[in-house]
């Protein structure tokens, strides 16, 4: 994809300073840009790179005043960061738009329907009785079981696995290797110490604008639904157990795990490698620091918690500071014990 600087400036409603007929074919950070790249300068911290960069063009602010010589052509706009983000989004949309059509061989079962303008990659599988919306992309080797519903503009990346009966909304993204709807981990202990599987006949619902990271697993409900609510974003390698609910616009970082039947509120932030036990209720806007362990429900909104078990973020930091000095603390205690022994003897 190649554009002249003038074409780019036109898209951004910016003005050109320098040779606008030069061609750019790549977006790059100003500190890494080479010939042919378009970069941007927003944060003052990066200004020195402008004077050394090989970038062919740099987007800068309307009123930016260079202090040294530079070689790039400038594109002046109101907000360089925003302008660059717009270009990034258009670039990504352009790439995605190119993926259309049906590669062969691919598989689709009886009574399944697909909307307009969809992509079905080679070796992708769609079961029976599925309803797939418009502009959906199903990448190669993705698996969609039976009775699955997928809304418009959703992307299922290569090798993602969607079990039967799952409901996925509009504008969702499911990354490679993610598994949606595997059996909940439910086993009834038997008198002889063995376990008997409890059938898991529920499903999973991903509402609109949900993002599921690579190799993340969302188990189906025992009965009813495991639900990921609108706009929630899940990173990679996350475990969501059966009958969990994740609230709207909640963000969960990589390798966190939520145990069965726990309900996470809206606008929560759950950091990496956090573990939350089952059957809890977590209030809206709760945030948990990395590696926290959560074993109790949180009723009050907006708390920042940390530690395993998790408690107030700052109190945890204070306890950890003492933890590092525990050997000295113990030594001071021993010294006190000796002194008191001496004092007591002297007194007698």
- Residues with a catalytic annotation lie at 242
Q: Closer to its own copies at the Cβ: 22 or 251?
A: 251
Minimum Å distance from CB 185 to its own copies? 4
User: Would you tell me the crossing angle of helices 326-347 and 313-324 to the nearest 10 degrees?
Assistant: 70
Applying the rule CB under 8 A, the residues between 259 and 288 that interact with its own copies are 259, 266-267, 272-273, 275, 277
- Contacts for 237-246: CB closer than 8 Å, 24+ residues apart: 237/213, 238/213, 240/216, 241/184, 241/185, 241/278, 242/183, 242/184, 242/185, 242/186, 242/200, 242/202, 243/184, 243/202, 244/219
Q: Closer to its own copies at the Cβ: 19 or 320?
A: 320
Q: Closer to its own copies at the Cβ: 116 or 297?
A: 297
Alpha-helix residue ranges (DSSP H) falling in 13-97: 47-50, 80-97
Minimum Å distance from CB 69 to its own copies? 25
295 binds its own copies (CB under 8 A): yes
Minimum Å distance from CB 173 to its own copies? 8
Question: Nearest to residue 130, comparing CAs of 108, 99, 152?
Answer: 108
Alpha-helix residue ranges (DSSP H) falling in the chain: 5-12, 47-50, 80-97, 313-324, 326-347
Applying the rule CB under 8 A, the residues between 180 and 239 that interact with its own copies are 182-183, 185, 187-188, 193-195, 197-199, 201, 209, 211, 213-215, 217, 219, 223-224, 231, 233, 235-237, 239
DSSP 76: E
Q: Closer to its own copies at the Cβ: 45 or 324?
A: 324
Question: Nearest to residue 292, comparing CAs of 329, 246, 258, 333?
Answer: 258
174 binds its own copies (CB under 8 A): no
Minimum Å distance from CB 217 to its own copies? 4
Minimum Å distance from CB 157 to its own copies? 7
At 53, list the tokens. 């960069």
Which region holds residue 29: left if phi is over 0, alpha if psi is between -120 and 50, else beta? beta
The site string for its own copies over 114-133 (x = CB under 8 A, - otherwise) reads: -------xxx-x--------
101 binds its own copies (CB under 8 A): no
Cβ proximity of 113 and 130 under 8 Å: yes
Applying the rule CB under 8 A, the residues between 307 and 336 that interact with its own copies are 308-309, 311, 315, 318-327, 329-330, 332-333, 336
Q: Closer to its own copies at the Cβ: 14 or 213?
A: 213
């Amino acid at each position: 994809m190649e554009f002249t600087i003038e074409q780019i400036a036109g898209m951004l409603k910016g003005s050109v300073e320098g040779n606008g007929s030069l061609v750019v074919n790549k977006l790059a950070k100003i500190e890494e840009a080479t010939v042919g790249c378009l970069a941007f300068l927003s944060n003052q911290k990066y200004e020195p790179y402008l004077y050394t960069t090989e970038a062919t063009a740099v987007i800068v602010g309307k009123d930016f005043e260079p202090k040294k010589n530079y070689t790039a052509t400038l594109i002046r706009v109101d907000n360089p960061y925003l302008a660059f983000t717009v270009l990034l989004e258009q670039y990504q949309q352009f790439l995605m738009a190119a993926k259309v059509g049906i590669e062969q061989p691919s598989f689709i079962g009886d009574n399944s329907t697909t909307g307009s303008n969809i992509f079905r990659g080679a070796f992708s599988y769609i079961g029976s009785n599925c309803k797939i919306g418009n502009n959906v992309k199903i990448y190669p080797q993705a698996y969609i079981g039976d009775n699955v519903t997928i809304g418009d503009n959703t992307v299922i990346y290569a090798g993602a696995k969607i079990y039967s009966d799952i409901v996925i909304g509009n504008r969702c993204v499911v990354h490679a290797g993610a598994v949606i709807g595997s059996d909940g981990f439910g086993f009834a202990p038997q008198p002889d110490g063995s376990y008997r599987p409890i059938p898991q006949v529920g499903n999973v619902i991903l509402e609109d604008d949900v993002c599921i990271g690579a190799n993340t697993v969302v188990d189906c409900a025992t009965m009813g639904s495991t639900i990921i609510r609108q706009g929630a974003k899940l990173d990679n390698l996350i475990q969501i157990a059966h009958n969990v609910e994740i609230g709207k616009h909640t963000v969960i970082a990589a390798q966190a795990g939520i145990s069965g039947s726990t309900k996470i509120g809206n606008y929560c932030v759950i950091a990496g490698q956090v573990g939350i036990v089952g059957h809890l209720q977590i209030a809206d806007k709760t945030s948990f620091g990395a590696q926290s362990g959560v074993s109790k429900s949180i009723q009050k909104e907006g708390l920042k918690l940390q530690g395993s078990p998790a408690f107030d973020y700052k109190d945890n930091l204070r306890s950890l500071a003492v933890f590092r000095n525990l050997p000295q603390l113990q030594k001071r205690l021993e010294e006190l014990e000796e002194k008191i022994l001496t004092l007591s003897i002297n007194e007698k």
